[in-house]
Structure 1
Amino acid sequence: MNPEPDATFVSDATFNPALDLGLERVIRAPREVVWRAWTDPDRFAKWWIPAPLQCRVDRLEARPGGALVTRMSEDGATFTPHLDGCFLLVEDRLRLVFTNGLDSDWRPAQPEPVAMTAEIRFADHPEGTDYRIRVRHGDKAARDLHEQLGFAEGWGTVAAQLAALVEAEPR
């Protein structure tokens, strides 16, 4: 059995409001359950894209260099590309970092509408899991575009869907 990783947060002085967007919330489920929802393709597909859109996970390889490829559908029949990226860092039950600036084959990409690197952090909280997202952008224009396109609403919606899924799981 793996020892429980230490997941206390320290002040994050590297957050740059000119380039980064973030979201924080407490999810009322154990960190292990939230982590599993991020790393199990079947669970991931249930919350990753805002409903009523549906998600199909083509590849989810939660390891450094592993692929993260998803598709989305409005009707459940026709799926179009959504995300083609790769994991840069995976620290068991602590942190995931992925980017769409490299595709799943590690080729440089110019994704639409914006290139980003996302960092997801998980820590214990008295009520469940302290869940933090930071999305980094290469320049202020990309950050501002992502914000205008609805970063808070989109990432907030999927965080709420993630919370609903894991909070409903039996313990």
Structure 2
Amino acid sequence: MTTTLHPELDLTVSRIIKAPRSAIWKAWAEPQSFEQWWVPAPAVCRVRDMDLRPGGAFRTEISQDGGAFGPHITGCFLAVDELERIVFTDALVAGWRPAEASFVTAVITMKEHTDGTEYTATALHRNIADRDEHEQLGFYDGWGTVIRQLAERVESRARPEAC
């Protein structure tokens, strides 16, 4: 199933990451790795639940200032196509149970590229007001920073060691 994009409702960021899809997938699939790049530094992420399968829980917390952790994302994975696509939403929680509130569904795609991997993150919103709010909250800066952090992490590990 492909996602139909609606420019008036969706926000997208994309980057060529100079690393194989397997490295990016691993950065998503291993909670200890995921915590290192998922929120814009200097904020810190903590993974509470990550069951990377359709219907699996996805729950992270954030500490903005090195203090107490608070809620960040509480949601559910909708689609998990290894090395290709991850779709999650905050409209549902684990086991497909409805959430109290909903703001976004995200589609992450990873495609082969001559320089590595084309990584695209799209945030789908139910209406223009939610899209505009997400953009005003700093979608491009925040999600762009997160993708840069992911790229730095996987690219540094993908470089061959100097002889």
TM-score by length of 2: 0.91
Partner of 2:14: 24
Partner of 2:121: 133
In structure 2, distance between residues paired with 1:74 and 1:18: 31
In structure 1, distance between residues paired with 2:95 and 2:62: 20
Tell me which moved more, 74-83 or 91-100.
74-83
Which residues of 2 match residues 1-171 of structure 1 at below 5 A?
14-104=4-94, 106-111=96-101, 115-170=103-158
In structure 2, distance between residues paired with 1:151 and 1:92: 26
In structure 1, distance between residues paired with 2:17 and 2:137: 25
Deviation at 1:43, TM superposition (A): 0.6
Deviation at 1:52, TM superposition (A): 0.4
Unaligned ranges ≥5, structure 1: 1-11
CA RMSD of aligned residues (A): 1.7
Question: 2:76 is aligned with what amino acid?
Answer: C
In structure 1, distance between residues paired with 2:25 and 2:43: 23
Q: How many residues align?
A: 158
Percent same amino acid at aligned positions? 48
Deviation at 1:36, TM superposition (A): 0.8
Are 1:30 and 1:128, in contact at CA under 8 Å, matched by a contact in 2? Answer: yes
Cα distance change on mapping 1:117 and 1:27 into 2, 3 Å:
same
**1:38-60 residue CA offsets vs partner (Å, 9 max, x unmatched):** 11111100000110011100111
Cα distance change on mapping 1:141 and 1:67 into 2, 3 Å:
same
Question: 1:165 is aligned with what amino acid?
Answer: R
Secondary structure of residue in 1 paired with 2:55 = coil
**1:101-149 residue CA offsets vs partner (Å, 9 max, x unmatched):** 11235332244xx611000000111111110111110111111111111
Are 1:69 and 1:104, in contact at CA under 8 Å, matched by a contact in 2? Answer: no
**1:139-170 residue CA offsets vs partner (Å, 9 max, x unmatched):** 11111111111110110010000001101114
Secondary structure of residue in 2 paired with 1:169 = helix
TM-score by length of 1: 0.86
In structure 2, distance between residues paired with 1:26 and 1:147: 22
Partner of 1:3: none
